[in-house]
Chain A
């Protein structure tokens, strides 16, 4: 009796599995790891650089506003190159510059900002680098322009005068 019960339940489990697989066959599964243009920003919570408190992405990014998310690190040489551009953008009131500090030592990062100035309204700490991966970043520096909680533009590598003009055009 017990044996019969086991065999029947096993058989039905396998039948269910069969149908799930059967249905699964018809769905196409193509995952794209990189963030495309016009995609929603990832949802995350992370620590802030100065205040050491946890924030949610929902609290940082508001609707109908432009944000510029810049992934940077003190050890990254090209980040120094693009720094003046970010300082320039800081003056623009239409856009809020937010930094993601990527795999960095806090002291070095602080030195970096003291030396060159802090263009960021808020800095999110990404010690392990996982957050940047969620954003779809290849490396540092990388910059995202966000509007309405969507990524509308992405720059790989340092920003330059041209990209500054481009960004200013958008906002």
Chain B
């Protein structure tokens, strides 16, 4: 009770500080010889208030204070402490508070760490950032206050959605938000830099750190979500092109493109329009994602908050930001005429431009696939859902030239270059094609497209591998990331090609047998935990080589709320995962059994970690 009150009033105070900050930054902007110390002090104050509010919410969750509506809706006394805490951001209100917290932390760090940029730029960035922060404050207090009071106080809460009670999901939102919110700093500073016309190499060097930070967190956040979906949702895949996944992928694509443009801008004053538009796009896409997910306009696994009122608020806020940035872009931005796109066709700039257009293509495919159903529904009230085949068909063919450009691009020089050691490059290409042809041929699948896809990924793999030895530490970060990407694509391709699946209905004691695999359903046990009961099924799986595996998938019946989840059992080895999941068949003593062998699963996760590690190295690298 006391914590709710504290939390609520800190939020209001935080909003007031935000308004004061806008006032100070306008005043300071008019006569700006030095940064007003009040701005720093008030930013700290704002951070403090949001932190207090966030901590009060955490405490309310820990002590199960059910007079708080958010706690009542999302917690339960029998939940383990860890999930009580993670439940704080496992719901709409709390996650928005977390978002706000990250926003205020980031702007505070930004003020502290930005030293060699014009004062006006700093102040203006704070101003723009405060517009976003105030928007979120209003949204939180108006439509989704985490401190709503309930009377009479209930004895017991409704509990956290069981599929969210998972360690990966406890850290997935904070990491993802660091990425999303980092993009808000990029957004504000890009607007500030455009207004002051200082989009230049020195600005690029300064903003690069922020781009890298958000990029790393966004990459890791998506990875965590994907790992969670893999073992918790029981579909045995890692990416489903679900709208929620797509809305995190879109900012990632925009941010990755931005990162590459910044690398160019660091050296030459070109691609400025690209940089600005992408900075704006990254954040608006994150916001658009928030809108799509939180308004309930799309149905997906993240089903909290189906409240049109909230949706309307974010929608208006989103479009205010879009129009603000459009206005600034068109009225203040001037492209540098002397340095316009006059690239030699074979140069690093050209290859980055090629990369940009490919990325934009992928981005638009994902965007259209995600929002088109909404448009169709509104215009013709037809309901469709866009599934994986759409994305695969539109993306896979374009990956081929993209991978080739990725292999050759980095080895080109700036401004103008020749292809050196052509024989080497071509021989590697031939080797890749041959190897992939034999791999695909052996397994008798759809030969042509797969051969080309695998060979292009292998090609990138070889080239980056060679560069590790050839160039030693030069471009080490970039090379690591590209190497990781080639590994990712290869693993995904092999995973797709060589996965096998068995779906069957079995009773206890029954055996399923085809020529390759034998699945023995040995027994079931019951287990009782604090917040759920579970049925553990024991399977013995024997493959053609006679290797025995015992797998025990679970069905968990949570007490509060009363939901059944299936926990897959996964045996992970270096080369493949064995994945088994069971489901209840209604009113029958049969279990629906789904057994999958998924090669290279571990490599998918590892390569994504490698990619973000490349980003991390770049972040710590001293500029030569």
Question: Which parts of A1-51 form the interface with B (CB within 8 Å)?
Answer: 3, 6-7, 10-11, 14, 18, 20-31
CB distance from B608 to the nearest CB of A (A): 28
CB distance from A71 to the nearest CB of B (A): 11
- Contact among B322, B375, B504 with A75 in the assembled complex (CB-CB below 8 Å): B504
Instruction: Check if B525 is an interface residue, CB within 8 A of chain A.
Output: no
Give a binary string over A138-159; 1 marks a CB under 8 Å from any B CB, 0 the rest.
Answer: 1111000000000000001110
14 interchain pairs (CB within 8 A)? A7-B326, A10-B326, A11-B323, A18-B319, A24-B374, A24-B378, A25-B315, A76-B505, A77-B511, A78-B505, A103-B503, A139-B592, A141-B505, A158-B505
Given the interface pairs A11-B326, A21-B374, A139-B505, the reply to whether A75 lies near B297 with Cβ below 8 Å is no
Q: Are B505 and A25 in contact (CB under 8 A)?
A: no
Instruction: Check if B357 is an interface residue, CB within 8 A of chain A.
Output: no
- B312 to chain A: closest residue by CB: A25
Give a binary string over A67-102; 1 marks a CB under 8 Å from any B CB, 0 the rest.
Answer: 000000001111000000000000000000000000
Q: Are B297 and A25 in contact (CB under 8 A)?
A: yes
- A132 to chain B: closest residue by CB: B503
B378 partner residues in chain A, CB cutoff 8 A: 20, 23-24, 27
Give a binary string over B268-304; 1 marks a CB under 8 Å from any A CB, 0 the rest.
Answer: 0000000000000000000000010001111100000
- A133 to chain B: closest residue by CB: B387
Give a binary string over B576-592; 1 marks a CB under 8 Å from any A CB, 0 the rest.
Answer: 00000001011010101
A78 partner residues in chain B, CB cutoff 8 A: 504-507, 510, 590
Given the interface pairs A21-B291, A77-B512, the reply to whether A27 lies near B505 with Cβ below 8 Å is no
- B299 to chain A: closest residue by CB: A29
A11–B510 alpha-carbon span in the complex (Å): 64
Instruction: Check if B33 is an interface residue, CB within 8 A of chain A.
Output: no
Q: Are A25 and B326 in contact (CB under 8 A)?
A: no
A28–B377 alpha-carbon span in the complex (Å): 10
A116–B250 alpha-carbon span in the complex (Å): 53
- Contact among A7, A20, A157 with B330 in the assembled complex (CB-CB below 8 Å): A7
- B511 to chain A: closest residue by CB: A77
Q: Are A77 and B315 in contact (CB under 8 A)?
A: no
Instruction: Check if B342 is an interface residue, CB within 8 A of chain A.
Output: no
Instruction: Check if B379 is an interface residue, CB within 8 A of chain A.
Output: yes
Q: Are B514 and A21 in contact (CB under 8 A)?
A: no
Q: Are B298 and A29 in contact (CB under 8 A)?
A: yes
Q: Are A156 and B586 in contact (CB under 8 A)?
A: yes
A interface residues (Cβ-Cβ under 8 A, vs B): 3, 6-7, 10-11, 14, 18, 20-31, 75-78, 103, 129, 138-141, 156-158
A141–B315 alpha-carbon span in the complex (Å): 46
Q: Are B374 and A156 in contact (CB under 8 A)?
A: no
- Contact among B315, B502, B592 with A138 in the assembled complex (CB-CB below 8 Å): B592
Q: Are B375 and A14 in contact (CB under 8 A)?
A: no
CB distance from B594 to the nearest CB of A (A): 8
CB distance from B277 to the nearest CB of A (A): 11
Instruction: Check if B311 is an interface residue, CB within 8 A of chain A.
Output: yes
A3–B378 alpha-carbon span in the complex (Å): 31
B502 partner residues in chain A, CB cutoff 8 A: 75
- Contact among A3, A29, A76, A157 with B297 in the assembled complex (CB-CB below 8 Å): A29
B588 partner residues in chain A, CB cutoff 8 A: 156-157
Total B residues in contact with A, Cβ cutoff 8 Å = 44
A6 partner residues in chain B, CB cutoff 8 A: 330
- Contact among B504, B585, B594 with A156 in the assembled complex (CB-CB below 8 Å): B585
Given the interface pairs A29-B377, A139-B503, the reply to whether A24 lies near B511 with Cβ below 8 Å is no
Given the interface pairs A11-B323, A76-B504, A78-B505, the reply to whether A20 lies near B308 with Cβ below 8 Å is no
- Contact among B385, B510, B594 with A31 in the assembled complex (CB-CB below 8 Å): B385
A77 partner residues in chain B, CB cutoff 8 A: 504, 506, 510-513
Given the interface pairs A14-B322, A77-B510, the reply to whether A24 lies near B504 with Cβ below 8 Å is no
A28 partner residues in chain B, CB cutoff 8 A: 296, 306
A138 partner residues in chain B, CB cutoff 8 A: 583, 585, 592
CB distance from A131 to the nearest CB of B (A): 14
Q: Are A3 and B330 in contact (CB under 8 A)?
A: yes
- Contact among A11, A29, A75 with B296 in the assembled complex (CB-CB below 8 Å): A29
CB distance from B579 to the nearest CB of A (A): 16
A22 partner residues in chain B, CB cutoff 8 A: 312, 315
Q: A28-B296, A138-B583, A158-B590 are in contact. List 20 more A-B contacts (CB 8 A).
A: A7-B330, A18-B319, A21-B297, A22-B312, A24-B374, A25-B295, A25-B311, A26-B308, A29-B298, A29-B383, A75-B502, A76-B504, A77-B512, A78-B504, A78-B506, A78-B507, A141-B505, A156-B505, A157-B585, A157-B588
CB distance from B613 to the nearest CB of A (A): 37
Given the interface pairs A25-B315, A29-B298, A75-B504, the reply to whether A157 lies near B308 with Cβ below 8 Å is no
Given the interface pairs A77-B510, A78-B590, the reply to whether A24 lies near B322 with Cβ below 8 Å is no
A29 partner residues in chain B, CB cutoff 8 A: 296-299, 374, 377, 383
- B389 to chain A: closest residue by CB: A130
- Contact among B299, B323, B512 with A30 in the assembled complex (CB-CB below 8 Å): B299
Q: Which of B295, B377, B504, B510 has the most CB of A within 10 A?
A: B504
A78–B110 alpha-carbon span in the complex (Å): 64
A158–B377 alpha-carbon span in the complex (Å): 38
CB distance from A35 to the nearest CB of B (A): 14
CB distance from B284 to the nearest CB of A (A): 10
A18–B326 alpha-carbon span in the complex (Å): 15
A156–B587 alpha-carbon span in the complex (Å): 9
Q: Are B323 and A14 in contact (CB under 8 A)?
A: yes
Give a binary string over B306-347; 1 marks a CB under 8 Å from any A CB, 0 the rest.
Answer: 101001100100010011001000100000000000000000
CB distance from A132 to the nearest CB of B (A): 9
B510 partner residues in chain A, CB cutoff 8 A: 77-78
- Contact among B312, B377, B505, B583 with A140 in the assembled complex (CB-CB below 8 Å): B505
A7–B329 alpha-carbon span in the complex (Å): 9
Q: Are B326 and A21 in contact (CB under 8 A)?
A: no
B592 partner residues in chain A, CB cutoff 8 A: 138-139
Question: Which 7 pairs from chain A and chain B are nearest by CB?
Answer: A7-B330, A157-B590, A24-B374, A157-B588, A75-B514, A23-B378, A139-B592
A31 partner residues in chain B, CB cutoff 8 A: 299, 383, 385
A164–B269 alpha-carbon span in the complex (Å): 78
A21 partner residues in chain B, CB cutoff 8 A: 291, 297, 315, 374
B323 partner residues in chain A, CB cutoff 8 A: 11, 14
B383 partner residues in chain A, CB cutoff 8 A: 29, 31
A103–B594 alpha-carbon span in the complex (Å): 13
Given the interface pairs A3-B330, A14-B319, the reply to whether A24 lies near B512 with Cβ below 8 Å is no
Question: Which parts of B135-165 form the interface with A (CB within 8 Å)?
Answer: none
CB distance from A1 to the nearest CB of B (A): 13
A165–B569 alpha-carbon span in the complex (Å): 39
- A7 to chain B: closest residue by CB: B330
